[in-house]
Structure formats: C-alpha cells, structure tokens
Structure 1
Amino acid sequence: MATNDHLDYFKLQLVVIPCGSRKLGSPARSADMYVGSYHRACRNSADALQPDLLLILSARHGLLDLDDVIEPYDTPHGAADAVTSQVLLEQATVRDIVGLDPVVALGGVRHISLVRSVWPHVHTPLAGTRGMGDQMARLAALREGRGMPLT
C-alpha cells in the first residue's frame, strides 16, 4: 500500500518484527531468544518507533509477546512445520488485534507476506530494498528518527 505518510507523523499501534535463525541454546524469553544482528536491528528500530504493542513473528510459534518463554527451534518461514497465515489470523483474533491500525512490519518478504495476511493495510518500510545492506541502512534510519516513507 503506497502512501506519503511518514513514521513520525502518528502513533503506531503495532509493530511486528521477524524472529531470527540465530538463537540461544536454552529456553528464554522471546525478547532474549533471537541473537542475530538482523533481528536485533529490527528490534532496536521497532523500539525507537515506540509502538503501543511490539510482537515477534516466530516461524514456529506465530505471534509472540516479548515475555513469552520459548524453547530454541530450527524452523524457517515456509517450512512444513512453520506457522501459517490461518494460524496467525487465529492468534490475532484471540488477541483482539486484527483491527489495529496503523501496523508496521519490519522484515523480509516471507515475514511481510504472513503479516499482510492478517493486516492487509500493513506498512512495510523495508519494501523495495535490494538486499541485507540496504535493509540494515533503512533500519538505522528508522532508529535515528529519520522518518522513512511508509509503503
């Protein structure tokens, strides 16, 4: 969804960030489980946006609060045992967050596709980037308060 709005022009209700393949080796809060640089960059950028609600989209567990304790796992998005859009919609419905707006999703194409299945109006500030370096630069801009156009 293309728009001329910028992140700093309104209060965000929800930011959804991706999990990560690098994890701790023992059970931990989801806020601590994912230790990779990409997840951390998304998390730091999301924190800087100061949303009302920040959730992690886990490839195995779906929507996680930062305090949810989980076991380490090895399930990438798209795998046979990965969370589906139907499960994600059910989780969002139970949480009563389907109608939230605005929603921002930080992450790659598979992550965005799942988020969009619940929130078709989601803003995706990393859309149009041409690789990891480009995404990391855009995440840094978000953290530094340089408003990025929402798409």
Structure 2
Amino acid sequence: MVTGHPAALARLHADSLITDRQPGSGAHQITDAGRAAYEQWKADYGPPASPPASGVLSRLPARQHDAVLAAARRPDHLVPGIDDHVPGFFNQRTLAAVHAAGYADIRPCEHGVIRGTWEQTGQALYLTPAGREYARQRGNIPCSRRRVVIIACGSRKAEPSWEEFGYRDVIPAGHLYTGPWHRSLRLAADALTDQTLIRILSARHGLVPLERPLFPYDTRLADRDVITPERIARQTAALDLDDAHVIFLGGRGYAQWLRQSVPHALTPLTGGIGDQRAQCHAVARSTHLASAWWTMAARLADHETGKPPNKPTGVPPAGPRPPAGGSNRGAGR
C-alpha cells in the first residue's frame, strides 16, 4: 500500500510508479518500476537525516543558526550560498552542516531525477519542515509554508523590444502578457505574495517565473503543442508545491489542468471575466481578504476542512455576485 499527499500520489501515477489496486477504490500499490526507483533512490542517497520530531530543538552553532533564520525570513525559504547570487550568503561549510542536520535540502530537478548528494550537485538549499520548526522555536519567527501564487497566461502579448526589455526576440514572462484580464490576475498576485513566488501557467511552457525570457507564442490547451501533464508534474515537484500553500488565479480549464498535480490549490475566483477582475482588484486592496484566502489555502493543504480540494467554500465574496454556472471566457494561452 502507498499513502501520501494527493499531489505526490498524482505524480507517482503519472510516472507509472504506483497504480490503483482497484479502479475508484482510492487505494494505491507500488509497481515494479516503483520498487526499482525506490531501490535506486536508497542507493543514491542513503538514509535521510532525522532531526528531532518533537520537543525543544537544540541550538545550532552561530553561523548555522544564522543561516536557518536568514532562510526563514525569506519568502522563498532559500538558504543563501555563494552560488545563489543573493546578499548575505553563507559558506559551504555552514550549508553542509545545515543540510546534514536535516534543516535544509535540495529539490528535485524539473528535467529528471537528481543523481547524487547535495555536495555533488551544488544545488540551492531550502528549509525543510524541521528547519521551519527550528526558526519558530529558536528565532521566534512565525515561519509557515511558502505562499505560492499561480496565474493563468493570456492571449494578448507584447512585441519584443530591445529598448524596453533589453532583449531582441524574447520578452520576460512578467511583461509578455498584456491583456486586461491577465493584468488583473497579476495585480492580485503581487498583493498576495512575493514576486519570487509567482508563476505564470503557460499552455506551452508550464509554470514560468516572471523573469524567464519567452518567445511570443500562440498555444491553447487543446493544441498539439500544449505542455504535457507529466512535464507539469515535474515542474510542481521542482517547486516542492506539496510543501506550499498555493492559490491559483484563472479560468476553470486551467484550474482543472493544474489540479492534476496540485490538488490542494485554492481557486477563489468565480463568475465571468468581469467578476474575476473585480475580485482580483478587491483582494489587492484588502489585506483582510488576502488573509482569508491564505487561510483557506492553508486548510486545503493541511486537509483540515474535510471538503474536496476542488470545491473550496467559505471564501468571502470580493466582487459582484457571479451568475450560476460561471464562465471560462478569456482563458489564457
């Protein structure tokens, strides 16, 4: 039997590592490919570090302590090293010690399974749940899961401009989509979280950070060049969205597409395009409404509401009352 977070189970299904014991039963079992992958994982990584699960955590040495608290203060929970190109980085010895203590770890690679340890790969380190608990206990920092906002793309796009963007043929994703609906989604996303935690859900490229340069394109969900669900699953794994509170802003089609990998994503927008734009502008103006949305997202991630993740309820209305049935007009591309 295999149990775990629904998003993780969905990815294991997509990779044929688990299968349903009986159709519709909700029970999962490992496949031969899954057993082989697990044995390979143990050969690559060995036993994981196991920090204390409960009680008062011992205080780390000064630089390690500072590294964990520095990461806890960052919206993305990055433990900064010299290769991360951010201010206030820590040296390799400190990072290695924080990693060995189990308070930070690397994330999967989007393009495949990572082979080797953190020391071999040199990838960035991020706080684990144990690291967040250390920050709460030893730094009095209210460090919870990251707050990730995913917004739909849009069909109206800007033209490449060397003078405006500094690129000849490509445009940063954060400037590519110019339609009023997408700009409303972006306004809400900027109010809800840090820009490093915003991703645009593109029909061709999947989850795209704002700074990534893109060639203008025209792809819809029904087109042949649409990104595959397997690729989306790898991207959500690389972002570690199983361990994040997630809000998705966009139409129903894109929401259903994303839920294959992130079933706990909160989708608070309702009604037609005008209603959705009004709700986006309302949350951008109201910290109370933003807090209510994040509370709902946290409950979905923690399985505390007991309600299906694709039917969140109790979100305070932000705009005009939507008509029955809603609309998905204006879905991005």
When the two structures are superposed, what TM-score results if normalisation uses the length of structure 1? 0.83
Tell me which of 8, 18, 32 is aligned to 2:175: 32
Tell me which of 127, 148, 171 is aligned to 1:14: 148
- Number of residue equivalences: 139
Please list every run of 5 or more consecutive structure 1 residues that lacks an aligned counterpart in the other structure: 1-9
Tell me which of 52, 62, 81 is aligned to 2:206: 62
Alpha-carbon distance in 2 for matches of 1:96, 1:44: 22
User: If each structure's helix is expressed as a fraction of its own residues, which one has the higher value?
Assistant: 2
Query: Are residues 1:136 and 2:280 paired?
Result: no
How far is 1:133 from its partner?
1.2
- Give the % identical residues: 36
How far is 1:100 from its partner?
2.8
Alpha-carbon distance in 1 for matches of 2:239, 2:205: 18
SS at match of 1:102: strand
8 Å Cα contact 1:12/1:49 also seen in 2: no
How far is 1:11 from its partner?
7.0
**Which residue of the partner structure matches residue 114 of structure 1?**
257
Q: Which amino acid aligns with 2:183?
A: R
SS at match of 1:60: coil
Alpha-carbon distance in 2 for matches of 1:98, 1:130: 27
The within-5 A match list for 1:78-93 is 78-93=222-237
Alpha-carbon distance in 1 for matches of 2:206, 2:150: 11
8 Å Cα contact 1:12/1:50 also seen in 2: no
8 Å Cα contact 2:236/2:262 also seen in 1: no
**Which residue of the partner structure matches residue 23 of structure 1?**
157
SS at match of 1:76: coil
Alpha-carbon distance in 1 for matches of 2:265, 2:211: 24
How far is 1:86 from its partner?
1.7
How far is 1:78 from its partner?
2.6
8 Å Cα contact 2:150/2:199 also seen in 1: yes
Q: RMSD of the alignment, in Å?
A: 1.8
How far is 1:91 from its partner?
1.7
How far is 1:58 from its partner?
0.7
Please list every run of 5 or more consecutive structure 2 residues that lacks an aligned counterpart in the other structure: 1-143, 161-169, 297-311, 313-333
C-alpha deviations, 1:16-65, integer Å up to 9, x for none? 00111001122100011111111110011010012461101111111101
Structure number with bigger Rg = 2
When the two structures are superposed, what TM-score results if normalisation uses the length of structure 2? 0.39
